[in-house]
Structure 1
Amino acid sequence: ANAVATAAAGADLRPEALPVPVYHRSPSSKFRCLENVSLFTGACRTFFGVPEHQLFCTSDLAEGRDTQAVVQCIFALASRVEVMYPAFNGPRLIVPDHSECPDLDSSSESDGDGSA
């Protein structure tokens, strides 16, 4: 459902240039929710040019798996919007620089206990 709001917010960028697909504003079934998410990822892929490896699977979101991929996709979309619409005055998603934080290195993601 949040993907619907995200997709709808995209219409504020430049209405004549953004092909907003028809989506279900109040999806009443799981199928319609999944369809909305699929429309969102499709727009990320085809219109915004988010690379395939930065997209998430609709089923993963529906089943609550791989939320990191969902977040990665949203950040990738935010980056593409910034490049495509530099004059956009709406809200921006800023990624903080954690490069100086020793607790946030990639080795802690390997098995969950901090060991490599």
Structure 2
Amino acid sequence: MQRGIIEIENEYEENPVRITLRTLQEIVVKRYPKSQECRSGLWGNADEFTQAIFDCKTFEEVADILMPERKMSVWQRIEEYFLRAGFVMLAVMFLYHVVWRLIQKAWLWIVG
């Protein structure tokens, strides 16, 4: 997590079963990365994380703890906007160039 890389393990059962909230909480606490460094990066300690998971009253609360909403600052939004705008401009310029070349070739073929 220090390098900005998150590995997500997706194991899908062929025959999914319904589980209770308590069972989900136990699975999350058991499977969450065991290292103290990883837990303390987000929580004061492992016990605090465990308590937060078991304090959840719904499945949605557990999901919110595990995958919090990404909040962006105004500066990050501006950077993202300009990055997207830049890619759009490059795409338009490329398509314009390609379409213009095709029109020129078609015109030469028709006239020529």
TM-score by length of 2: 0.28
Higher-Rg structure is 2
Give 1 or 2: higher helix fraction.
Answer: 2
TM-score by length of 1: 0.28
